[in-house]
Amino acid sequence: MSVTAIARLVARLATWTVIGLAAFAVAVGVFIPRLAGATPYAVLTGSMRPALPPGTLAIVRPVPTEQIRTGSVLTYQLESGRPAVVTHRVIAQGVSTTTGEPVFRTRGDANPGPDPGWVRAVQVRGTVWYAVPLLGYPASVLTGDQRELIIAGAAGALLLYAAVMFTGAVRDRRAASVATTPRRATGAER
């Protein structure tokens, strides 16, 4: 095998590895959560180290409050109806004396003490279903609409690139096959 052929093979392997990793990132960060009704959130601080370091993409699935237990990692709104959320571990459960609804005391794993106040059921977005390290960095830079547009564009570009690479490989294989196939002599060549 020539140096050029080895270089092409290495380049092709690197290309398919990048395409595979990008497809994996899009699948675990966008498609799987969307199909399951989950929401991806970027972890911005170190309050949940070592379980969820900054830059992690936490995939949060809505759950009934009855299923939330002490030890669950909960994503909740700081203020009901506001977009800002926190993801911390439930350290205690209770019942509100005024409303009778379930409430939760939370604390970040790396924080010395509990979060102030109790989290009400109306604030709960869900519990962490799974988390993917490093995928939170790109998600934290972009707004929701920008993220959707870029992900759709990147997915389309990757699929187009994969199609071009695949058709090129098929064309090269056919050309190599034709070049090595012996030709039959026709009556005119005899």
Mean pLDDT of 90-96: 98
Mean residue pLDDT across the chain: 90
Q: Which domain holds residue 8?
A: 1-36+135-169
Cβ pair 132, 59 in contact under 8 A: yes
Residue 20 has pLDDT above 90, yes or no: no
Residue 55 covered by a domain? yes
Residue (of 13, 82, 88) closest to 47 by Cα position = 88
Residue 179 has pLDDT above 80, yes or no: no
Domain match, 127 and 158 both: no
- Residue 18 sits at φ, ψ, to 5 deg, of -65, -45
Domain match, 128 and 45 both: yes
Give the per-residue pLDDT at 35.
92
Residue 189 covered by a domain? no
Residue 184 has pLDDT above 80, yes or no: no
Sign of the dihedral through C-alpha 80, 84, 86, 87: positive
Residue 47 covered by a domain? yes
Give the per-residue pLDDT at 23.
82
